[in-house]
Amino acid sequence: MRTVFLASLRTHIRRYVAAAVAITVGVAFVVVVGVLTSGAHSGLMDGLGAPYRNADHVVSAAGWPSSEMDPKAVIAFAERHGENAAATGRATLPARASGRRLSETTVGPIATSEKWRWQELSSGRFPARTGEAVVDVYFALAENIAVGDRVRIGEGAAARDVRVVGLVQSPSPPAQASMYVTWPQLLQWRDHLHLNAVAVHGEVGRLPEGAKAQSPEGFAAERLTYVQNRVNSLSVMLLLFAGIALFVSVLVIANTFSILLAQRLRDFALLRCIGATRRQVVRSVRREAAAVGVLASSTGALVGVGLGYGLVALINALAPTAPMGAAELPTLWLLGGFAVGLVVTMVASWLPIRRVVRVSPLAALRPDAAVGVHTATGLVRLALAALLLVVGLALLGVAMIQDSTALMLAGGGSVFAGVLLFGPVLVPRLVRITGALLGPAGRLATEHAVRDPRRTATTTASLLVGVTLATAVLTGMATWRSAVNERIGRDHPIDIALTSPEEPVTTDLLNRVRRTPGVERAVPVDGAVARMAGLDEPIAVVTAPAAQQVARDGGAFARVEPGKIRVDPEAFGKDLSLRPGDRVTVRVGDRRAQLQVAVGTGWGPAGVVAPETLATLTDAPEPHAIWIRASSGADPARLGGDLDELADPVGATIENGLRTWESLDRQLGIYTWSALGLLGIAVVIALIGIANTLGLSVLERAREHAMLRALGLTRRQLRRMLAIEAVLLSVVATLLGTLIGIGFAWVGYETFVTRALSDATMQVPWLSLAVVVLIAVMAGLLAAVLPARRAARVTPAAGLSLD
Amino acid sequence: MAASARDLTKTYGRGDAQVHALRGVDLDLPRGRFTAIMGPSGSGKSTLMHCLAGLDQAGGGTVTVAGTDLGSLDDDALTIFRREHVGFVFQSFNLLPMLTAGENIVLPLELGGRRIDDAVRERAHMLADTLGVADRLGHRPAELSGGQQQRVAIARALITQPDLLFADEPTGNLDSTTSAEVLDHLRRSARELGQTVVMVTHERDAATYADCVVTMQDGRIV
């Protein structure tokens, strides 16, 4: 049998290419996840302990990460130890450089002594005194800051100017900040300061309340474990997608083997005729599967290592702040990936090979047993499918009522398994219905496509998996997004509010705001300067009947009943001690009014009142604010910066709600695209599967095609026939997948979206789904290109003389 | 003349492996006659038929069928020419397994984009009736006997009223009684319908049904 095994491997190895590619991609996926995990781990290890390397003890919150130390106590503790202690932490503060507002700026301490200084200098020098600062190189790069620049940190009374004297590298997750100043300077913003650890040399002494002391190694290990757990849960997520890709691979491999073995059934029968035992035949075929598995898995492991290291390098080049270190070779992952690939191959080929056992030696002697025998769909299979469907649907129903995610997953899995088992009955029918829409041109293609129901079903199943999940993700994300949008619309009704509490806004300023690129609409808001009890600074009291022209919530927040004043407490910081329902006296000049406080967010430091209320306070209202609606696609940071430049000279302030929109948009976008990208791998494997099924079918139908060509089918007609066949398969899989995916998304929405956001309504992103279907059609056409070319190349005479 | 070949040559392979399948064949096929091409395997008879039928391009020489020089046609034109002027009956794999017998018969017309109307169906039925398979039209090939399959194939070949009907070992897979029936049908279509029929066979018995016999050996007519 050895010669037979080697000969068949030689003859048939090329037909295993698609199966091998499927395994390779799956294994590579697993190994890439391994390399990335290892890279992330080592990246996080780098520099983690640097700030504490000279410490004897590290003092940090006892209940970290759920509790923090009290900054006051930590500051006192650090002062007590003087030169023998250095605290790490940061304050998030507004900052501006040459009139520009910087994005999210964190300020941390830098020690003046060599012992405690852990930042590495890239250029310039370290700060020596108050008024000097160093900037992290990546932050400097992003914000275009150079040595010598002046940066104003903080706002109002707490604002301080510092000069940038150097740039540093500071890769230590617990202590990293965008800028560093000396400890005495940092204490000027002590109210904003969060301190997570103190490195101590010598005796610790009395600890601040809620703190614990550890060795530096112990501290680093604690932080590392925490971060690693987060990296690991990310790896598990990625592995989930790898699992999906591998499942699709199983379908593709199983299909490849059933087709190949069906084509060789007569060879096996002949072997049995001339004296091979069943066991010998099966062992020989199984060895073939193992050879394919070993080859493809090792290729996959190699490709995975290459891709993984490439990705680490790419991430380091594109996002230098991301913690990606030099990944070790993840031996365990490599072995694991290899083993998974081999096991997947053996498992997927198990059933098709078992069918070979049943071939009787007589089959070799029968003349031309029709190829592609219809496999009867067993009653057992149908019963099982029905059972899975019923149980799955029941579980989904219960899941929706009880909001149980576990039940939802179980039900979803069960329903999907039921659909897959129903495939041989369901899919050919759907193909026929779809094919009928194509008229007579598609008839032959339809007949070919449904010829072997099981093959058709398995081929479409692989694509079905990817499309169903992609649809569920797209629909879920669209629903989530619309719900969150509505919520943000309430929290940030005004994109950008420019408020000038003291001086009225001039017409000139309004015009300049309107001319700023990115401003779609700007309305002046009339009001008066008022004094309000409990507030040191004057406040603009405004009324805005025109708010609905610019507000994202339709101006609901600006419709205030007479006798009330609505304020945004966040805009006043800690100064405002008013609570909703309090009565407060508002005074404009010598007129006054008792008003009841209502709250809201998102329009800056102004009190909104009814027009009647304003009329009792002043006879001559003047514009004190400009409320702006940004045009879609405007860059929030840039627009905010531009408007800030207009507002700052006249003493007005800017409230930028657009940034929240953007960061949320970006986050959702990242989630959606990552999920789609990862599912894309499964879809690509499925398309390789379709191309493969078609390619192998083309081989087995070579004589039929030759006959059709002899009877007058042109090459173009033959190619079109095969293209239609592929498109039919992919379209049916896509439509079915879209349907099931929307169903799953609906269940998911009922199960956990309504729980989190009670006012969410389900959104079906028809456009995106149409794009998915369109891509499926294109991909189907693409999958048909090679098989069709090969089929059309054969001349009728050559095809007819094939055996 | 229904078809003629002049100085036809065809070579396969190169160098040592070169095989001269045809070495200058001249042949005329008169209209309305049943011609048998005989010869042992490897004599070039199948290659000759393939060239005459436009299934393969000859290496040299000319083939004229129904007044058309096949050498001047590209693949598409040749395909359409076959569709309109030539009918085929093969030894096996004659019918598409997923279509019924009736659908198989009208397939050549369908490939040409012709609408399958009542007139076509009536003609198909008439042919099937003549060939004795009218009651099997709704069945799939797997449900037909070998002889029935071959007769359905003949009906399919005749439906386009071709200038030439080629039969390549049409009785190769049949027992002697069924062979006789199939051969009789071929002879009758030549005698009664005026159909030009060319049959390739290596069976001497089969050749006796033909009006004239051409024998080939080593790529030449002897």
A142 occurs within a structural domain? yes
Token pair 């190169």 in the structure block, residue: B14
Which of residues A636, A656, A676 is at a domain's end? Answer: A656
Please give the distance of CA B150 from its chain centroid, rounded to a whole number. 12
**Does the pLDDT at position A303 exceed 50?**
yes
A147: DSSP letter: T
Average pLDDT over residues A502-520: 88
- Give the type of residue at A181: V
Which of residues A599, A623, A656 is at a domain's end? Answer: A656
The closest alpha carbon to A422, from A468, A444, A454, belongs to A454
- The minimum CA-CA distance between A706 and chain B, rounded to whole Å, is 9
CB atoms < 10 A from the CB of A730, how many? 29
How far is the CA of A277 from the CAs of A195, A268, A356, A360, B111, in angstroms? Answer: 76, 10, 12, 11, 47
Beta-carbon separation of A707 and B110 below 8 A: no
When pLDDT is cut at 50, 70 and 90, the band that residue A319 belongs to is low
**Does the pLDDT at position A389 exceed 50?**
yes
Beta-carbon separation of B96 and A704 below 8 A: yes
Do A89 and A26 belong together in one domain? no
Do A588 and A629 belong together in one domain? yes
Which of residues A213, A234, A262 is at a domain's end? Answer: A213
The closest alpha carbon to B190, from B209, B205, B168, belongs to B209
Stronger pLDDT, A342 or A445, i.e. the higher one: A342
**Does the pLDDT at position A145 exceed 70?**
yes
Q: How far apart are CA A47 and CA B52, in angstroms?
A: 82
Peptide bond into A787 cis (omega under 30): no
- Please return the burial class of A479, using the count of CB atoms within 10 Å of its CB with bins 0-12, 13-18 and 19+: buried
**Does the pLDDT at position A377 exceed 70?**
no
A188 occurs within a structural domain? yes
Of the listed ranges A96-110, A335-349, B139-153, the one predicted with least confidence: A96-110
**Does the pLDDT at position B15 exceed 90?**
no
In terms of phi and psi (left: phi > 0; alpha: psi -120 to 50; beta: otherwise), the region of A510 is alpha
Of the listed ranges A289-298, A382-391, A419-428, A534-543, the one predicted with least confidence: A534-543
Sequence-ordered list of residues with C-beta below 8 angstroms from that of A296, at least 6 positions apart, any chain: A19, A20, A21, A22, A23, A24, A27, A341, A345
Average pLDDT over residues A499-515: 88
Q: What percent of chain B has pLDDT over 70?
A: 100
Q: How far apart are CA A343 and CA A335, in angstroms?
A: 12
- The minimum CA-CA distance between B164 and chain A, rounded to whole Å, is 13
Q: Is A717 on the interface with B (CB under 8 A)?
A: yes
pLDDT, residue A802, reads 56
Q: How do beta strands A622-630 and A519-532 pair?
A: antiparallel
Q: Are A272 and A364 in contact (CB under 8 A)?
A: yes
Average pLDDT over residues B40-63: 86
**Does the pLDDT at position A656 exceed 70?**
yes
Q: Which two tokens stand for residue A675?
A: 């999920």
Q: How do beta strands A85-93 and A606-608 pair?
A: unpaired
When pLDDT is cut at 50, 70 and 90, the band that residue B37 belongs to is very high
Q: How far apart are CA A744 and CA A415, in angstroms?
A: 10
How far is the CA of A372 from the CAs of A12, A233, A259, A430, in angstroms? Answer: 18, 46, 8, 20
Average pLDDT over residues A5-22: 81
Do A726 and A766 belong together in one domain? yes
Backbone φ and ψ of B72, nearest 5°: -85, -5
Contacts of B99 in chain A (CB under 8 A): 447
Do A220 and A299 belong together in one domain? yes
Which domain covers residue A48, as residue numbers? Answer: 1-56+215-369
Of A451, A714, A800, the CB nearest to B98: A451
Of the listed ranges A11-25, A321-335, A425-439, B146-160, the one predicted with least confidence: A321-335
Average pLDDT over residues B20-45: 89
Q: Determine the 3-state secondary structure of A744 from DSSP.
A: helix
A416 occurs within a structural domain? no
pLDDT, residue A371, reads 38
Average pLDDT over residues A96-125: 85
Beta-carbon separation of A798 and B56 below 8 A: yes
**Does the pLDDT at position A759 exceed 70?**
no
Q: How many domains does chain A have?
A: 4
Which DSSP string do the residues of A28-88 spell out, in sequence order? HHHHHHHHHHHHHHHHHHTTTSGGGTT-SEEEEETTTTT----HHHHHHHHHHHGGGEEEE
Q: Please tell me which residue of chain B has the smallest CA distance to A705.
A: B96
A376 occurs within a structural domain? no
The closest alpha carbon to A486, from A420, A389, A552, belongs to A552
pLDDT, residue A364, reads 60
Which residues, in sequence order, are bridge partners of residue A301?
none
Q: Which two tokens stand for residue A791?
A: 């089929």
Per residue in A708-749, pLDDT (tens digit) is 888 888 888 888 888 888 888 889 999 999 999 999 988 888
Average pLDDT over residues B25-31: 90
Instruction: Give the residue extent of every domain in chain B.
Output: 3-221
Of A703, A704, A710, the CB nearest to B82: A710
Q: What percent of chain A has pLDDT over 70?
A: 94
A452 occurs within a structural domain? yes
Q: How far apart are CA B100 and CA A706, in angstroms?
A: 19
CB atoms < 10 A from the CB of A592, how many? 15
When pLDDT is cut at 50, 70 and 90, the band that residue A481 belongs to is confident
Do A253 and A104 belong together in one domain? no
Q: Which two tokens stand for residue A389?
A: 């469907």
Do A204 and A112 belong together in one domain? yes
Do A650 and A544 belong together in one domain? yes
**What are all long-range contacts of B18-27, with beta carbons under 8 Å and residues at least 24 apart?**
B20/B218, B20/B219, B21/B47, B21/B219, B22/B47, B22/B48, B22/B51, B22/B58, B22/B59, B22/B219, B23/B218, B23/B219, B23/B220, B24/B61, B24/B220, B25/B61, B25/B216, B25/B219, B25/B220, B25/B221, B26/B221, B27/B52, B27/B214, B27/B221
Q: How far apart are CA B205 and CA A334, in angstroms?
A: 69
Of B56, B83, B108, the CB nearest to A797: B56
Beta-carbon separation of A710 and B99 below 8 A: no
Average pLDDT over residues A327-341: 87
Beta-carbon separation of A707 and B99 below 8 A: no
Contacts of B108 in chain A (CB under 8 A): 711-712
Average pLDDT over residues A293-306: 93
End-to-end CA distance of chain B: 21
Token pair 């380091």 in the structure block, residue: A316
Q: Are A757 and A484 in contact (CB under 8 A)?
A: yes
**pTM score, two decimals?**
0.74
**Does the pLDDT at position A220 exceed 60?**
yes
Radius of gyration, alpha carbons of chain B: 17
Beta-carbon separation of A368 and B93 below 8 A: yes
CB atoms < 10 A from the CB of B18, how many? 9
How many residues in chain B?
A: 222
**Does the pLDDT at position A362 exceed 60?**
yes
Contacts of A712 in chain B (CB under 8 A): 79-80, 82-84, 108, 111-112
Q: Which two tokens stand for residue A602?
A: 């998102």
Of A368, A713, A801, the CB nearest to B111: A713
Q: How far apart are CA A57 and CA A65, in angstroms?
A: 19
Of A447, A708, A711, the CB nearest to B98: A447
Token pair 């929290």 in the structure block, residue: A491
Q: Are A473 and A678 in contact (CB under 8 A)?
A: no
Do A297 and A363 belong together in one domain? yes
A417 occurs within a structural domain? no
The closest alpha carbon to A576, from A624, A533, A625, belongs to A533
Do A15 and A122 belong together in one domain? no
Sequence-ordered list of residues with C-beta below 8 angstroms from that of A484, at least 6 positions apart, any chain: A664, A668, A757
pLDDT, residue A134, reads 94
Which CATH superfamily does the domain covering B3-221 fall into? P-loop containing nucleotide triphosphate hydrolases (3.40.50.300)
- CA contacts within 13 A on the Cβ side of A484: 15
pLDDT, residue A372, reads 39
- The minimum CA-CA distance between A716 and chain B, rounded to whole Å, is 8
Do A726 and A784 belong together in one domain? yes
Average pLDDT over residues B91-103: 80
A406 occurs within a structural domain? no
Orientation of helix A405-436 relative to helix A453-491, angle to 10°: 120
pLDDT, residue A390, reads 94
Average pLDDT over residues A550-554: 83
- The minimum CA-CA distance between B154 and chain A, rounded to whole Å, is 12
**Does the pLDDT at position A376 exceed 70?**
no
Average pLDDT over residues A199-222: 86
Token pair 């860059």 in the structure block, residue: A635
- E strands present in A552-702: 564-567, 583-588, 591-599, 606-608, 622-630, 653-656
When pLDDT is cut at 50, 70 and 90, the band that residue A365 belongs to is low
When pLDDT is cut at 50, 70 and 90, the band that residue A358 belongs to is confident
Q: Are A92 and A192 in contact (CB under 8 A)?
A: yes
Which of A373, A708, A711 should be substituted to probe chain B, the one whose Cβ sees the most B Cβ atoms within 10 Å? A711
Average pLDDT over residues A777-788: 87
**Does the pLDDT at position A370 exceed 60?**
no
Per residue in A155-175, pLDDT (tens digit) is 777 788 999 999 988 877 778
Radius of gyration, alpha carbons of chain A: 35
Q: What percent of chain A has pLDDT over 90?
A: 11
Do A151 and A228 belong together in one domain? no
Orientation of helix A453-491 relative to helix A658-700, angle to 10°: 170
In terms of phi and psi (left: phi > 0; alpha: psi -120 to 50; beta: otherwise), the region of A494 is beta
Average pLDDT over residues B9-35: 86
Per residue in A181-203, pLDDT (tens digit) is 999 999 888 888 888 889 998 88
Per residue in A665-685, pLDDT (tens digit) is 777 788 888 888 888 888 888
**Longest CA span, chain A:** 115
Q: Is A367 on the interface with B (CB under 8 A)?
A: yes
Beta-carbon separation of B88 and A703 below 8 A: no
Beta-carbon separation of B168 and A367 below 8 A: no
A378 occurs within a structural domain? no
Which of B111, B114, B160, B171 should be substituted to probe chain A, the one whose Cβ sees the most A Cβ atoms within 10 Å? B111
pLDDT, residue A373, reads 42
Q: Are A196 and A60 in contact (CB under 8 A)?
A: yes
pLDDT, residue A757, reads 66
Contacts of B112 in chain A (CB under 8 A): 712
Stronger pLDDT, A259 or B183, i.e. the higher one: B183
Do A598 and A684 belong together in one domain? no
Average pLDDT over residues A384-389: 91
Which DSSP string do the residues of A534-578 spell out, in sequence order? T-SS-EEEEE-GGGGGT-TTTTGGG---TTEEEE-GGGGGGG---
Q: Are A345 and A291 in contact (CB under 8 A)?
A: no
**Does the pLDDT at position A576 exceed 70?**
no
**Does the pLDDT at position A74 exceed 90?**
no
| Average pLDDT along chain B | 87
Average pLDDT over residues B190-195: 87
